[in-house]
Structure formats: structure tokens, C-alpha cells
Structure 1
Amino acid sequence: MSGALRIAIMTDETGWHTSRLKKAFRARGAEARCVDLADCRIDTTWAPHGLAIPGFGHALPDAVFVRGIAGGTFEQVTMRLGILHALRECGVPVYNDARAIERSVDKSMTSLLLHRHGVPTPATWAGESAAFAQRVLMREAAAGRKVVMKPLFGSQGKGLRRLGANARGRLAPLPSLRAFSEVAYLQRYVEGGQPGFDWRVLVVGGRAVAAMRRVGGQGWIHNFAQGAACEPALLTDALAATAIRATEALGLDYAGVDLIPAHDDPASPLVLEVNGVAAWRGLQSVTKLDIAAALVDDLLDRKLADSRAPVALASGDAPR
């Protein structure tokens, strides 16, 4: 495919999502190749960029779509994110880039940025002190509230614990932080209706493009991966606006935003999480929108196009 755009899909596993993305890139005349970040390397003898990306020889991709970053040691994950940082420094558009992914993967930073940007989200506490976390739990329980304890890094509803007084008013002690990598991330629990549900809204290029309700699942956890049923949802102005603001707060090109109705105002959604490497198989099952095509179009028509646009000089001289 001589002269075609060459795209790297960064992923540690191939399957349904990568197949959809490759098909969408082919429809746009672009050649997409799956690359594992663990196989990339920095090599300052590798001319001309000092970056070796498998399948691209001494050249770099025209753009990068980040579909997945494998877990590993702190050093391994830092190295993989470093490759994404290096690609951006070399002028390659990265969708979503490492800075944005770092903000969304770290739930404490997500909560802080949502709070600073005035995006409605449940009260949140995070720190390394078990004593402080226990005081938060006791204070919330005394007010008749529960909290959810989550792994700082995690997805698909795994490892969540709901804490608070039981029906007899007894408060169980805070779980050991050892299972949470010695970090306590606590979020005020928002009681849902019956049956319980939350929303997932997909934001692409600053627009909310699709929404669904995730109903049921593993008790009070409504993730698709935990058995929740996906239903079409009306993309209301409130849902769309809140999801867009959350995505902008983290600087993401696209995001899956998880929201839940506020207890005192069901029409006003609260943001629970913002996913910067979002899966969309469940959402695709309830929407006619070709999500992979929408993502690919935004990457090529906005992100890549903007990176290649001429830059006007501050003095008003002609663009270069």
C-alpha cells in the first residue's frame, strides 16, 4: 500500500477491538499494524529518531492509536509510557497520549482534576495512611453513608469493596491496605435505584456520540465485564455536557465516562470514572454508530490533520 498512512495500534492483545480498528483504518486507505509497547525500544544508535517501533523499520508511524498498555513492574510500565511520550516528542500524534492516559489511569488524579474543573463527582479521599482512611470510614458511617474502596489502578469493576455499617449498625474495620498496594482510595457510595444501573457515555473529539445504561451485574457493581446488561440510553444534554467536561478535564481525545444519577437529583449525573483506554464492545451492541469508524475518523481528520497544519507566526507573518 505505497504512500498510504501507516498507523500503529498499541496493544498487548489482539481481538475484537483491534479487528474493528484495522477494518476502519483500511476503509480510510490507511495501513494499521498492531504493536506491543513491550517490544518497542529507545535506541540512540537507531537513526534518525532513536526510537525502534517493530514493523516500521527506521521510520515512525504517521499516528498511534493506544488500545492497551500491559501491566508490569513499575519500571516496565514507566518504559512503555516513556515510548508514548517519546513518540509525541518526535511529532507523532498519539491518541490518547501518555499524559492523558496517566491522568485517567490514576483514579486519585482523575478525582482531583474533576474536582478542580467543577465536574460533579462523589467525595473522594486517597492516601497512604490507614489511620486516616479509617477515620474517613468512621465519619461517613456516622453520617449514615457508605464508601467504596477501589484499587488505585484497576478496571472492569475488579477489587471494589463497599464499606460501612451493616443493618445492625456494626462497622467492619478497614481492610488491610496490602491488597490495595498500600494506598487507600475511597469514594463516597451513591445509592442507586432498583434495579441499580449506571451510564457509560463515549466522548470522541469533544463530542458525546453514544450512551448506554449498564443494568444489574455483580450486585451493586454495574460493569459489562461483571455481567451487567447493556441497554440503549437517551443521550440527554446533562449526560453529554458532564461527560464532555470530564473528558476535557483530563485532556483526553476520547474517553468512556462512567456516570451515576445523583441521589438528591436523578437528572443530574455524577462522574465515577473516566476511562482513557476504553473498551466499547458492550456499547457497540446497543448503538448503530460504528464506534471504531468514529474513533478512526477523529484521529485522522482532527488529531493527525491538526499536527500537520501550518503554524502561523506570532507576528502575523505567513504560515510556514
Structure 2
Amino acid sequence: MIDPDAHRRADTVVIFTEDADWHTRTLRLAIEKQGLRVLVLSLNDCGFAIGETPHGLLIPGLDGALPAAVFIRVIAKGTTEQITVRLSLLHALRELGVKVMNDARAIERCVDKSMTSFLIAKAGLPTPRTFVREDRAAMQALVDEAPGDSVLKPMFGAQGKGIRRIAPRDALPEPEKVGGVYYLQEFVEGRQNDGMFQDWRVYVVGGRAISAMIRRSERWITNIHQGAAGIPAPVDGIAAAYAVRATHAVGADYAGVDLIEDAQGRFTVLEVNSMPAWKGLQRTTDIDVAGAMAGHLVASLGARATA
């Protein structure tokens, strides 16, 4: 019999990542300031031990115990089988009553851009017309008949990598170049400033927009990792409100939400990132992003304890 309460380490938070980078170090310090012990692990090193441990999981460094919470910073690339097991471990931790931030459901919804777009639209938020199919000929027909440009994105991607702008009648790449799935989104012409392209990144934690920036670039791809510059943006307007609703729609504790504003001042939600970087945002604003996430994590543990 699995006993989820056996030997629980109420003072320990596990950060799952693949690299002790700036984000991991900053988050670790923020959590430790809250009085909790932090253990940094890779999901690759964990597994199931059903019938061996009291809770059925194998987590190094805890002597058979469960942590109070886990924070997902990075899940490594792998085979379908490897990714399935790693997400199953996160599902299992949630089933055992461990606070998982963000949990596997939110990660699955955000990693899969088609489901993110579906949930954003289902929540009644403005989002570009989006088509996702495996049939190259059908998708090529959409491109050929489109009144304007489209954006071809990898289903699983981040930091603006692999994104292509497709003009009407441009040839789509072969299926093997896109993992056999075409994710095609209507191109939204955003408001420009002094000839610079721009969009918004709003950071949401615990149901509240805590920080935001406008990203500006000479190129239409405006990710910070692609060379864009950030300037502080307000967190009390429609962009922030949409970001909070989008984060709720995917079931995330925290998220980086990308939006674009058109020439008429109307906002459109583009993406929700469940494992976002915040270094560029931290350089742009004076908000302690890691501190906000650590505070929300501790508050969530307190709420569970008194429930």
C-alpha cells in the first residue's frame, strides 16, 4: 500500500532542471530565504520504485521521503518514452499531495502549442486564427488562399527558434522538417515604434501579473534571445488582464505570456510559456521575479497545511 504521508520532508523543495544556471541559482536563493531546504535534481535521475519505497517513487537525496514541493525549471529533451516517464513522475507527485509548480498538466498544455491555442480561444481571449494538421497538401492550400502572411511554428519550441513567416503561395517545408505536423498561425501585424517591431511579455505568478516588458527588435521575431531589447511595461492594463486569464486557462501557477498589440491598440494573446526564462525581464524591471515565485510557493504550502 502506498503511503503518501510517510516520511514527508516538509522543509524541502526540489528544483528539477538540467543546469545550475542563473535561473536555478536565483530561484534557489529565493526559496532558501523563505526558510526551506532546496535540492536541485534532474528528472532523468528519478523513477518509480513501486513496492520498494513507501510512496512508490525514487527521488535521490531524500532518503525515501517526499519533498514538500517541487519546482519545474527544465525538462530535458528525450525520446517519447523518456518524456512520458518524466511527466508521469510529475503526475505521480501531484497525486501524492506534493505541490508541483507548474504541474504536468500545465506543462503538457503549454508545450503543445495547438492545445495552448485551443485553451486560449476556449477562454474567450483574442488569439490568431490557427490551423494544425499533418496533411501538407491541405495546409499548403490554406497558405495559397490566405489573404496575408502566416507564421509557421514548431509544435514544440521556445525562444523564437524555428519560426518562419510564410507569404501566400510560399511552399511549406517537407513533413520531416516540422516533425510531421504543421502549426500555422495567422500573422498579426503589430504596432511599430520608430520602425521597430514590438510585442509584450507579461509574467504572471499566483493569479497576478507581477511584471511586464515590451520587446522591441529590428526583426519581426522579438524574443530577447533573438536580440530584442526590453523596456518596462505596465501591469494594470488589458494586456496584464489577458495574461492572467490565459495563465488560468492552461492551469499554470506561473507563466510568461506573449501578446501583440495592433495599430488600433487591440491585444492578441500569442503564447503561454509554462517554463519561462525571466533573466531578460529581470534586467528590464526592478521586480524580484524569483522572490515572487518563491513567495507564492510558500503561500501555497501554507494554504494546503490549513485546508
With the length of structure 2 as denominator, give the TM-score of the two structures. 0.94
Hey, what does 1:203 align to over in structure 2? 204
Q: Which of these residues, 146, 160, 163, is aligned with residue 149 of structure 2?
A: 146
> d(CA) in 1 for partners of 2:53 and 2:235?
49
Q: Secondary structure at the match of 2:246?
A: helix
Hey, what does 2:244 align to over in structure 1? 244
Instruction: Give the CA deviation at 1:308.
Output: 2.3
Unaligned residue ranges in structure 2 (runs of 5+):
1-8
Hey, what does 1:313 align to over in structure 2? none
Verify: 1:298 aligned to 2:296, yes or no.
Answer: yes
Instruction: Give the CA deviation at 1:226.
Output: 0.7
Deviations 1:252-311 (A, max 9, x none): 100000010135x22x2111110000110000001111110100000111x22233233x
Deviations 1:50-80 (A, max 9, x none): 1011111100111011111111111111111
Cα pair 2:199 2:215 within 8 Å, conserved: yes
Hey, what does 1:6 align to over in structure 2? 12
Q: Secondary structure at the match of 2:160?
A: coil
> d(CA) in 1 for partners of 2:304 and 2:88?
20
Question: 270-279 or 40-49, which moves further after superposition?
Answer: 40-49
Hey, what does 2:256 align to over in structure 1? 256
Hey, what does 2:32 align to over in structure 1? 26
Cα pair 1:64 1:95 within 8 Å, conserved: yes
> d(CA) in 1 for partners of 2:152 and 2:53?
48
> d(CA) in 2 for partners of 1:21 and 1:158?
25
Could you list the runs of 4 or more consecutive aligned residues of structure 1 that deviate by over 6 angstroms after TM superposition? none
Q: Secondary structure at the match of 2:248?
A: helix
> d(CA) in 1 for partners of 2:157 and 2:45?
23
- Alignment RMSD, CA only? 1.3
Hey, what does 2:159 align to over in structure 1? 156
Verify: 1:216 aligned to 2:214, yes or no.
Answer: no
The letter for the 2-side match of 1:122 is P
The letter for the 2-side match of 1:147 is S
Cα pair 1:122 1:189 within 8 Å, conserved: yes
Hey, what does 1:49 align to over in structure 2? 55
Instruction: Give the CA deviation at 1:135.
Output: 1.5
Hey, what does 1:177 align to over in structure 2? 175
Cα pair 1:212 1:232 within 8 Å, conserved: yes
Q: Secondary structure at the match of 2:75?
A: coil
Question: 92-101 or 229-238, which moves further after superposition?
Answer: 229-238
The letter for the 1-side match of 2:26 is R
How many equivalent pairs are there? Answer: 296
Unaligned residue ranges in structure 1 (runs of 5+):
166-170, 311-320
Hey, what does 1:72 align to over in structure 2? 78
Hey, what does 1:318 align to over in structure 2? none
Q: Which of these residues, 255, 269, 272, is aligned with residue 270 of structure 2?
A: 272
Deviations 1:119-154 (A, max 9, x none): 1111101011111111111121xx2x1000010000
**% identity of equivalent residues:** 48
Q: Secondary structure at the match of 2:290?
A: helix
Cα pair 1:42 1:51 within 8 Å, conserved: yes
Q: Which of these residues, 158, 179, 184, is aligned with residue 186 of structure 1?
A: 184
Instruction: Give the CA deviation at 1:43.
Output: 0.8
Cα pair 1:4 1:31 within 8 Å, conserved: no
Deviations 1:65-101 (A, max 9, x none): 1111111111111111011001001110100000011
Cα pair 1:258 1:273 within 8 Å, conserved: yes
> d(CA) in 1 for partners of 2:290 and 2:159?
20
> d(CA) in 1 for partners of 2:178 and 2:304?
40
Cα pair 2:10 2:68 within 8 Å, conserved: no
Deviations 1:181-205 (A, max 9, x none): 0000001011232200111000000
